[in-house]
Amino acid sequence: MKKLLPTSTAGSLPKPSWLAEPERLWSPWKLQGEELVDGKRDALRVALQEQEAAGIDIVSDGEQTRQHFVTTFIEHLEGVDFERRETVRIRDRYEASVPTVVGPVSRPRPVFVEDARFLRQQTDQAIKWALPGPMTMVDTLSDAHYKSRQALAWEFAGILNQEARELEQAGVDIIQFDEPAFNVFFDEVNEWGVACLERAIEGLTCETVVHICYGYGIKANTDWKATLGSEWRQYEEVFPKLRQSKIGMISLECHNSQVPMELLELIRGKKVMVGAIDVATETIETPEQVAATLREALKYVEADKLYPCTNCGMAPLSREVARAKLDALTAGADLLREELTAARGARSEKELEQHPQACDKQYKGKNLLQS
Ligand code: ZN
């Protein structure tokens, strides 16, 4: 039987200090050339080992081979000039120096496919791979060519689809698209954002996820969160459209946030990766706190559709804190799984007492099917 409540992370894990300066985003590499290639692979092995040691069920590369979840993908595309940088306002909240689209965009060669193949060789567990979503890519750029966010996002969706198909071929079980921009530009999400995501997953048979969060635990994000009031209802704007979409799973920030859990009712029936670890604090959750968040989510998400996860990536945290948070996630999920298994056991015993023939018939039916 499939394991209940399989755990995973939203994506990034801290990099070792010999590879990049710790606890910062866009941290420059410390190695070069062949040493860098080897170093990234070694870091991927360590990130995998740490997830396995913590008992994480669906593992990832910890994003060890990329400097940033959006820019590293974009760097591999043609049509983008990395020398020509502009300072723009991203996510409608902070300034960042970003590259410029100067011509038609295309993907001359695979971006992460070799890394994914390497990860596949290292483990038998289910693997998840994160890619930036089309809208978030457009929102992390300056565009001097298409002059239309929608037109550029559609081009990116086609490119992401090429990459996603090859990742699936390489043995990736779950492909995730990171769309923090979905929490900001609601009209665009409904007009074209979800359609672009559906373009990106066209023809895939593996599981697909969209990750929508309130961002890494950096100051610009925590300042923004402070302005959002006592109830964060951003998800309400995009859930109805997502529920109807072909995206299989939705990954959300649920722990320590002001998101009212009842909003999950709007996506009932979807598989949900429930963020039960806060990535914006160094305080380690207790297993009971993790279980409490997951238990609350169970009111709106069927147990077999609930995937315990982190609120967002853990790249800016220290390695020690990130490891302890992985342990907390596993321990919290274990607690709730035991509760559910005990409750199910009690329920089937009760059914057997009340309807012995019905259960007997079911059992015989099963035997019949198997023989
Ligand atoms: Zn996130």
Ligand 1 centroid to residue 144 C-alpha, Å? 28
Ligand 1 centroid to residue 12 C-alpha, Å? 9
* Residue 217: HSE in the Cβ half-sphere, 13 Å Cα cutoff: 23
User: What pLDDT was estimated at residue 267?
Assistant: 98
Structure tokens belonging to residue 37: 């290639």
Ligand 1 centroid to residue 8 C-alpha, Å? 13
Ligand 1 centroid to residue 235 C-alpha, Å? 14
Q: Which residues contact 178 (CB under 8 A, 6 or more apart)?
A: 11, 69, 70, 130, 131, 132, 133, 136, 211
Ligand 1 centroid to residue 181 C-alpha, Å? 10
Ligand 1 centroid to residue 133 C-alpha, Å? 11
User: What pLDDT was estimated at residue 357?
Assistant: 57
Low-confidence stretches of the chain (pLDDT < 50) are 359-371
Ligand 1 centroid to residue 120 C-alpha, Å? 24
Give φ, ψ of 154 to 5 degrees. -65, -40
| Lookup result for tokens 């995730």 | 176
DSSP letters for 184-246: T-HHHIIIIIHHHHHHHTTT--SEEEEEE-S--SSHHHHHHHHTS-S---HHHHHHHHHHHSS
Ligand 1 centroid to residue 93 C-alpha, Å? 15
User: Is the Cβ–Cβ distance between 117 and 47 less than 8 Å?
Assistant: no
Q: What is the pLDDT of residues 246-296, one digit of tens each?
A: 999 999 999 998 999 999 999 999 999 999 999 999 999 999 999 999 999
Ligand 1 centroid to residue 364 C-alpha, Å? 47
Ligand 1 centroid to residue 275 C-alpha, Å? 10
Ligand 1 centroid to residue 180 C-alpha, Å? 6
Q: What is the pLDDT of residues 220-235, one digit of tens each?
A: 888 888 899 899 999 9
Ligand 1 centroid to residue 273 C-alpha, Å? 12
Ligand 1 centroid to residue 1 C-alpha, Å? 31
Ligand 1 centroid to residue 190 C-alpha, Å? 20
Q: Which of 3.40.630.40, 3.40.50.410, 3.40.50.11540, 3.20.20.210 is the CATH number of 33-370? A: 3.20.20.210
Ligand 1 centroid to residue 250 C-alpha, Å? 12
Ligand 1 centroid to residue 212 C-alpha, Å? 6
User: What pLDDT was estimated at residue 344?
Assistant: 85
User: What pLDDT was estimated at residue 320?
Assistant: 97
Tell me the residues surrounding ligand 1 (ion) with CB < 5 Å.
213, 312
Ligand 1 centroid to residue 134 C-alpha, Å? 15
Is residue 190 packed enough to be buried (19+ CB in 10 Å), middle (13-18) or exposed (0-12)? Answer: middle
User: What pLDDT was estimated at residue 24?
Assistant: 83
